[in-house]
Amino acid sequence: MVALGNILIILVVVVFIARRQFQARKLNTERRFWVLPVILGALALRDPHLIDPAHKAAAIGLLLASVVVVLAMGSAWGWTVRIWREGDGALWAKGTVATVAAWAGLIVLRVGLYGLGSAMHVHQSSSSLLLTLGALLLVRGVVVNWRARTLEAPQHLRAVV
């Protein structure tokens, strides 16, 4: 039952994020972007079947490889988002065509890792997807927030010193 619940959570989160990704939306750099990734990670780590006990070393290696892949792709995703500042100083963000390419690349790499695990007869829990989705969102949030904070405010909104 845990697997079905995890799959539903993953689908809801992915649809929600994909839908929002391509809509221009105001950014709030003070928002707690890390809350959802932490919740996803906590849900994943509570699963006792996260690591296949029959193939521990291979399962841990696959999980680590998955985490490394999503850390790289989360960073790439964060860099593909267009961020701009309006005249009133408000920050805005919107996904680009490169964002679609980053998502497609991530899916191809994840399917490849899943195929590798299957070829090695390693049971791969849906919790590993939940964990890596959390890592992906966390890294993307860090990159987008960092980029947004480095944009200078328009000249007329800067404090005079």
Tens digits of residue pLDDT in 126-156: 888 889 989 999 999 999 999 998 887 665 5
What's residue 153's pLDDT? 64
- pLDDT score, position 3: 65
Per-residue confidence (pLDDT) for residue 103, from 0 to 100: 84
Mean per-residue pLDDT, 88-98: 90
> What residues pair up with 84 in beta bridges, in sequence order?
92
Average pLDDT of the chain, as a whole number: 86
- Single pTM value for the model: 0.81
Whole-angstrom CA distances from 115 to 60, 72, 85, 141, 151 are 15, 20, 43, 28, 41
- The more confident residue out of 29 and 61 is 61
From CA 94, how far away is CA 72, in angstroms rounded?
Answer: 20
Q: Cβ atoms within 10 A of the Cβ of 55, count?
A: 16
Cα separation, 5 vs 121, in Å, equals: 23
Q: Residue 161: what pLDDT?
A: 47
Q: Smallest Cα–Cα separation from 117: which of 32, 41, 60, 49? A: 60
Which residues pair with residue 83 across a beta bridge? 93
69 falls in which pLDDT band (50, 70, 90)? very high
